[in-house]
Structure 1
Amino acid sequence: MLSRTLLCLAVVSSSSVALADTVWMKNGDRLTGKITVFDGGKLMLDTPYGGSIPLDWKQVKTLESDQELLVKQDAYNGEKAKALKPADEGKVTLQNGEAPKTVELASIQQIMKPKPLVEDFTIKGNIDAALDFKRADTNTDDYNIAFKTTARNGRWRHTADGEYNREATDDVVSTNNWNAQYALDRFLTDKWFWQGRVSYKRDFVEDLSRQRTLGTGPGYQFWDDELGAFSLGSLLNRSDYEFADGEKQNFYAVAMKWSYNRFLIGKTVEFFTNGEVGKPLSGVADYSLDSEVGLRYKVTQWASLNVKYEKDLITGTNNQDLNTSRYTAGIGVTF
C-alpha cells in the first residue's frame, strides 16, 4: 500500500514538473511555473513558491512552455504557437504545427493566451463595494458600488466605468447619485490615440441634478502592461447641466484626463488614481474637477480590499457650486 502511494506521488510530481513552464535566466537561474503574459518588458511567471513574479525580459536567456500561446512580434499581428521550445541564448523556438520557427527574444513584443474568438482580445477590470449599516439611536445606511473595465483588441480600446452612492440617516437621505461613462480609443501609433467619450451623472440631492458630456480629443499612452498603466488625454467637451430648480446650461470646455495605476510588492498592492480637470470656454463656470485616488490590496487572485478618496468640484455655476468629498473602504473583485 505504501509503495503504491509513493508511486502515485512520484507520477503526480513528475507530471506537474512536465507541465510546468521553464524560464532560463542569463545569470544561470532556472525558474519553473506558469507563464501568464509578457507585456511591457516584463514576463509574468505564476509560481507556487513566490506568487506572480515579474521577470525582466532583457535578462531572459530562453524559455519553454507546453501551453498554446499567441506570440506577437509587432503591436497588432501575432502567431499562435502550440508550444515554446528552448533555443540558443536570446532565442526561442515556436512550435506551430508546421516547420519550427526560431525567433529572437528581442523581436517579441507580447505573449498572451489566445482567446476563443478574437485571439488578441484582452479584458481587465474590477468591481468595488463599500457597505456600512449602523443600528442604534440613529440608523445609518451607507452604500458605494463602483466598477471599471477595459477591453483591448488591436488598435481599439473600450473603457466603461460607473458608480452608485447613497447615504441615509433615519430615512433622511443626504447622498444619492450615480454616474456612468464609456470611452472608445483608436490607437494611431503604439502610444498616440484618439478618444471619443460620453458620460452621464444623476444626483437626487444636490442642486446640480444632471450632467451630460460628450467629448473627443487626442491622448498619449505612456505604458500599459501587467504592472500598471499611465495615460493622459486632452478633450474638447460639450456639457449640459440641469439644476434642481429647472435651470439649464450648456457650454463647451477643454479638459485634461489622467489614468494611472501601479502594482507594488509583487502585484499584491495596487495604487490608482483617475480624474479629469476642465475649464469652460464661456463664463458659466470657473473650472471642474472629478478625481479619485486609492489603494487596492489583493487577498486572493480575484478578491481584494480597497480604500478610496473621491473629490467632485464645480465652481462658479451661479452660486450653485458643487463641492463633495468622499472616503470609502470596502471589498472588491478583480478580473
Structure 2
Amino acid sequence: MLFENTLSRALLCVALAVVAGPLFADTVWLKNGDRLSGTIKLFDGGKLVLETDYGGTIALDWKKVATLQSDQELLVKQDEVTGERAKSLQAAEAGKVTLVNGEAPKTVELASIEQLMKPRPLVEDFVWKGNVDLGLDYKRAEKDTDDYDVDFKTKARHGRWRHNAEGGYNREKQNNVVTTDNWDAEYALDRFLDEHWFWQGRLGYRRDKIEDVSSQRTIGTGPGYQFWDDELGAFSLASLVNRNDYEYADGGNNDFYSLGLKWDYNRYLVGRSVELFTNGEVGKPIGSDTDYELDAEAGLRYKVTDWASLNVKAEKNLVSGAEAGELDETRYSVGFGVGW
C-alpha cells in the first residue's frame, strides 16, 4: 500500500509537471505559419526578444508576428509615456492580441504597441543597466608600465528620458614611483524626440595629479540617433558642440570649443554569453592647430554568471598635430566585472 501511494504521488507530480510546463511557456505565431515557444523578455525597437531552451535568445521582427500569448504580467506601452499592465496576453486574430487585465479583455493592434516589458517596482517602465570593471592593465607606450584600473558605466531610461553616467579611476606605478594618478566622471542626459532621435546634454570632469593638465571640464550638447536598443545590444551616435576648460599644474588655464562625434555600441553573441562592445569620441578643436583627438575603447566580456563576467579590452588615446607634441597611447587590460 505504501509503495502504491508513493507511486501514485510520483505519477501525479509528473502529470502536473507535463501539464503545467506549457502553461508557463509563452507562444508566438508568425505570419508564415510557424509557432515558437519560450519566454518573452522584451519588445522594443521593432524586435521581440524570445528566450528559448532550444535556440537561446531569439530576436524576432515584430512585423513578422501574427499574434502571441503569455501568462506573464507584462507592461504594454502604446506610446512613449503611458502603459497598461496586462496580467496575461491571449492570442487573437492575425495582427492583434488580447490584453487580460482583470477587467474586460481588450484587443489591440500589434502595430499600436511600442514596448512590452516586465513591470518594474515604483516606476514601471524604468530600465536600468550597467557594469563595473576591475582590471590589471598592461600598457605599451614610450615606457612599459602596469597599473590598476576601475571603470563603471550605467544607463537608466524612463519614458522619453535616459540618464547616462560613467567614470573611472587609474593609478600607475613604475619602479615604485607613482606615474599616473587620475579619475574622471561624465553625466549625460538624453531627451528622445521620437523612437530614434534624441537630444543630449553632457557634463564631464577629469582630475589628474601627475600630468601638466591638472583638470578638464567639458560641457556639450547636440543631437543623437539611437539605431537600436534591446536585450541583444544597442548602438547610438551623438554629434556635440563642446566647451572645454583646462587648468594646468602651473596655475594657467585655457578654454576653447570643439566638435565631437560619440559612439556607443554593444552586441551580445553566443546566446548572450559573450558581449562585444566599443565606445568613444573623436573630436576636432575649433581654432586650434590640433588635427583631431580620439579617446576610444573596445573589448569583449564573457558572462560567467548572470551578474559576473571576465573582460578583455583595449583603450586608445590619440592627439594628432598638437602644438605641445602628439600623443599616441594604447592600453590593454584583462579583469573581472559585475553587471546588471
Of 27-36 and 216-225, deviating more is 27-36
From 5, 8, 12, the equivalent of 1:7 is 12
Name stretches of at least 5 consecutive residues in structure 1 with no aligned partner.
Answer: 134-139
Of 314-323 and 192-201, deviating more is 314-323
From 156, 159, 167, the equivalent of 1:154 is 159
Aligned mates of 2:325, 2:180 — CA distance in 1: 17
- Name the counterpart of 1:247: 252
Aligned mates of 2:338, 2:132 — CA distance in 1: 5
- Name the counterpart of 1:331: 336
Name stretches of at least 5 consecutive residues in structure 2 with no aligned partner.
Answer: 1-5, 139-144
Aligned mates of 1:222, 1:53 — CA distance in 2: 19
- Name the counterpart of 2:214: 209
The superposition leaves residues 165-214 of structure 1 with CA deviations (integer Å, 9 ceiling, x where unpaired) of 22324422233222110000112232222111001112233332321111
Aligned mates of 1:132, 1:150 — CA distance in 2: 25
Q: Is 1:221 the counterpart of 2:196 in the alignment?
A: no
Assess if the C-alpha contact under 8 Å between 1:185 and 1:193 holds in 2. Answer: yes
Q: SS state of the match for residue 271, structure 1? A: strand
Q: Is 1:310 the counterpart of 2:300 in the alignment?
A: no
* Residues 132 and 235 of structure 1, relative CA distance in 2, 3 Å threshold: closer
Instruction: After TM superposition, list the pairs within 5 Å mapping 1:138-217 onto structure 2.
Output: 142-217=147-222
Q: CA deviation at 1:10?
A: 3.0
- Tell me the amino acid that sits aligned with residue 56 of structure 2: G
Count matched residues: 329
* TM-score, length of structure 2 as denominator length: 0.87
Q: Which runs of 4+ in 1 moved over 6 A?
A: none
Q: Is 1:75 the counterpart of 2:83 in the alignment?
A: no
Q: SS state of the match for residue 8, structure 2? A: helix
The superposition leaves residues 275-327 of structure 1 with CA deviations (integer Å, 9 ceiling, x where unpaired) of 11222222374432211112222233322222211112335554265442211
Assess if the C-alpha contact under 8 Å between 2:187 and 2:202 holds in 1. Answer: yes
Q: How large is the Cα RMSD of the aligned pairs?
A: 2.4
- Name the counterpart of 1:62: 67
Q: Is 1:99 the counterpart of 2:99 in the alignment?
A: no
* Residues 288 and 141 of structure 1, relative CA distance in 2, 3 Å threshold: closer
- Name the counterpart of 1:259: 264
Assess if the C-alpha contact under 8 Å between 1:276 and 1:289 holds in 2. Answer: yes
- Name the counterpart of 2:3: none
Assess if the C-alpha contact under 8 Å between 2:73 and 2:85 holds in 1. Answer: yes
Q: CA deviation at 1:83?
A: 0.8
Aligned mates of 2:206, 2:92 — CA distance in 1: 55
The superposition leaves residues 214-236 of structure 1 with CA deviations (integer Å, 9 ceiling, x where unpaired) of 11122222222222222221212
The superposition leaves residues 258-283 of structure 1 with CA deviations (integer Å, 9 ceiling, x where unpaired) of 22222233333322221112222223
The superposition leaves residues 85-110 of structure 1 with CA deviations (integer Å, 9 ceiling, x where unpaired) of 11122321101222211122232221
Q: SS state of the match for residue 271, structure 2? A: coil
Q: SS state of the match for residue 259, structure 1? A: strand
Assess if the C-alpha contact under 8 Å between 2:137 and 2:333 holds in 1. Answer: no
